[in-house]
């Protein structure tokens, strides 16, 4: 029985040997001619398959392998390009961020300059206002002093006129006022 399984497996008849073994039928080949023809048929079948089927199947497998290799190479190339593009984009983003930081810094410096200019201009205007106010104070003071001198002179003339009880002419009046102003200036000091 073991020989039958061995022969049938050599001839590619394993399914038939299994069926025979299950049924208990003795399938031991007794006919040598049948064995030779079976082996010859199997060999011819292998040769025909090798000539007509194995070669096209091998070529198809090689073409498929080449296609897969080409696709893998293209995928690797695409991955490398994508990686390069990603690096380029990251570089551009970094440059854009640097440029944005530069613009922000320039804007900050410009704002600081404008603030400084406004403060300087305000200080200059304030100084000008203070200076004009001081000049106005001096003018008002001089005007007040002049008005006071005129009032004092007028009062002095009136008092002197009453005291002297005579009319003073204008030339005498001027001399009296000037003397009075000089006397006031001395008293003031």
Give the model's pLDDT for residue 44.
Answer: 94
- Whether 7 is covered by a domain: the verdict is no
- Per DSSP, the three-state class of 25 is coil
- Whether 98 is covered by a domain: the verdict is yes
How wide is the angle at C-alpha 88 spanned by C-alphas 83 and 89, nearest 5°? 95
Give the model's pLDDT for residue 166.
Answer: 53
Give the model's pLDDT for residue 176.
Answer: 75
- Whether 15 is covered by a domain: the verdict is no
Give the model's pLDDT for residue 5.
Answer: 42
- Whether 37 is covered by a domain: the verdict is yes
Q: Which two tokens stand for residue 48?
A: 């025909």
Give the model's pLDDT for residue 141.
Answer: 86
Buried b (16+ CB within 10 A) or exposed e, 146-181: eeeeeeebeebbeebeeeeeeeeeeeebeeebeebe
Average pLDDT of the residues of the chain: 81
pTM, rounded to two decimals: 0.38
Number of separate domains in the chain: 1
Give the model's pLDDT for residue 54.
Answer: 86
- Whether 24 is covered by a domain: the verdict is no
Give the model's pLDDT for residue 9.
Answer: 46
- Whether 48 is covered by a domain: the verdict is yes
Give the model's pLDDT for residue 29.
Answer: 62
- Whether 17 is covered by a domain: the verdict is no
Listed as ranges, residues in the chain with pLDDT below 70 are: 1-29, 155-168, 187-189
- Whether 2 is covered by a domain: the verdict is no
Q: 25-47: per-residue pLDDT in tens? A: 555 668 899 999 999 999 999 99
What letter does residue 49 receive in the DSSP assignment?
I
- Measured CA to CA, the distance from residue 114 to residue 107 in angstroms comes to 10
Instruction: Tell me the residue range of the domain where 103 lies.
Output: 31-188
């Amino acid at each position: 029985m073991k020989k039958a399984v061995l022969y049938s497996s050599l001839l590619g008849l394993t399914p038939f040997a299994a069926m025979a073994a299950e049924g208990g039928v003795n399938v031991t080949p007794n006919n040598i001619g049948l064995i030779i023809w079976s082996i010859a048929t199997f060999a011819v079948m292998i040769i025909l398959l090798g000539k007509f089927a194995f070669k096209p199947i091998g070529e198809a497998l090689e073409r498929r392998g080449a296609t897969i290799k080409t696709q893998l190479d293209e995928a690797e190339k695409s991955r490398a390009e994508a990686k390069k593009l990603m690096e380029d984009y990251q570089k551009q983003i970094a440059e854009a961020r640097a440029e944005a930081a530069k613009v922000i810094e320039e804007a900050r410096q410009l704002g600081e300059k404008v603030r400084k200019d406004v403060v300087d201009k305000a200080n200059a205007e304030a100084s000008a206002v203070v200076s004009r106010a001081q000049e106005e104070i001096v003018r008002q003071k001089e005007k007040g002093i002049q008005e006071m001198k005129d009032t004092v002179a007028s009062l002095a003339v009136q008092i002197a006129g009453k005291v002297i009880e005579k009319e003073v002419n204008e030339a005498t009046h001027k001399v009296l006022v000037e003397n009075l102003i000089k006397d006031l200036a001395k008293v003031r000091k």
